[in-house]
């Protein structure tokens, strides 16, 4: 699914008639409905109809689901759309999938690792960095102060770590 972007995830059943609790990963959460049909990693496709907003997502109907058990069986399933159906990212905006794997260099240009993941939090995104020669990963705030440069053409980011962020 390399040419697809994850836009949501099923959090379980909602009610008894096959509806699901849906988490949207879109900047505007309701936009997920614009990308229907959505693809699952196993090749299935689902037409999506959003229902009411609920805590941490939406009640939603996916095509082919009629019972609570069918909906519950999809808990954790991630939903994708082909990249070419998504809008281009604005300046200084990035799809998380595009950041994963980027080389991390310090402000002097010395390679120090790679982006392993992007972690969404209520207070802002964090980059999970795999530092060369270190077993554990570290989390760096994805802010202009800590990550002053993201160069997608060169496939690298510049890290200006605050005191104590990097292991000695």
Determine the pLDDT at residue 28: 87
Mapped onto helix, strand or coil, the DSSP state of residue 148 is coil
More confident residue, 94 or 81: 81
CATH architecture for segment(s) 96-159 = Roll (2.30)
Look over the chain and give the mean of its residue pLDDT values, rounded to a whole number.
Answer: 92
Residue 91 has pLDDT above 90, yes or no: no
Q: How confident is the model at residue 1 (pLDDT cuts 50, 70, 90)?
A: low
Torsion of CA 32, 35, 41, 44, to 10 degrees: 120
CATH class of 4-85: mainly beta
- Domain-wise residue ranges, the chain: 4-85, 96-159
Tens of pLDDT, residue by residue over 37-53, are 999 988 899 999 999 99
Provide the β-strand partners of residue 95.
none
Tens of pLDDT, residue by residue over 119-163, are 888 788 999 999 999 899 999 999 999 999 999 999 999 999 988
């Amino acid at each position: 699914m390399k040419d697809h972007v994850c836009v949501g995830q099923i959090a379980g059943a909602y009610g008894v008639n096959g509806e699901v609790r849906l988490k949207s990963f879109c900047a505007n959460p309701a936009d997920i409905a614009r990308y229907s049909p959505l693809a699952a990693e196993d090749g299935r496709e689902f037409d999506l109809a959003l229902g009411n907003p609920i805590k941490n997502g939406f009640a939603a109907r996916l095509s082919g689901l009629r019972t609570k058990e069918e909906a519950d069986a999809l808990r954790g399933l991630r939903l994708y759309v082909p990249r070419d159906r998504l809008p281009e990212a604005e300046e200084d905006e990035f799809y998380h999938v595009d950041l994963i794997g980027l080389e991390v260099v310090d402000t002097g240009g010395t390679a120090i690792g790679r982006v392993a993941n992007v972690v969404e939090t209520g207070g802002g995104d964090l980059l999970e960095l795999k530092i060369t020669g270190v077993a554990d990963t570290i989390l760096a705030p994805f802010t202009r102060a800590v990550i002053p440069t993201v160069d997608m053409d060169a496939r690298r980011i510049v890290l200006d770590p605050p005191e104590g962020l990097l292991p000695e």
